[in-house]
Amino acid sequence: MTASAKLRFLADTVLAEAEHLQTTDGRLFALPMTPERAAGLRSDIDLSERTDAFVARFGRLQDTLADKLLPALLDWLSEPVGPAIDNLNRAERLGWIGSVETWTEVRRLRNRMIHEYVRDPVELASALMAAHAAVPLLADAAAAMARRAITPERG
Summarised one tens digit per residue, pLDDT across range 72-129 is 999 999 999 999 999 999 999 999 999 999 999 999 888 888 775 657 899 899 999 9
Q: How many Cβ atoms from other residues are within 10 Å of residue 30's Cβ?
A: 8
CA dist 70 and 37 (Å) reads 36
Residue 114, pLDDT score: 78
Residue 118, pLDDT score: 59
pLDDT band at 155 (very low <50, low <70, confident <90, very high): low
Provide CB contacts within 8 A for 55, sequence distance 6+: 110, 113, 114, 117, 131
Residue 100, pLDDT score: 96
Residue 151, pLDDT score: 79
| CA angle (148 as vertex; 147, 149 as ends), nearest 5 | 90
Encode pLDDT of 115-145 as tens digits.
756 578 998 999 999 999 999 999 999 999 9
Among 9, 14, 1, 115, residue whose Cα is nearest residue 57:
14
Q: How many CA atoms lie within 13 A of 151 on its CB side?
A: 12
CA dist 79 and 93 (Å) reads 12
Angle between helices 121-149 and 100-115 (to 10 degrees): 140
Residue 117, pLDDT score: 60
Encode pLDDT of 12-37 as tens digits.
999 999 999 999 999 999 999 999 99
- The fraction of the chain above a pLDDT of 90, given in percent, is 81
Residue 113, pLDDT score: 82
Give me the chain's average pLDDT, please. 92
CA dist 66 and 153 (Å) reads 22
Contact call for residues 142 and 20 (beta carbons, < 8 A): no
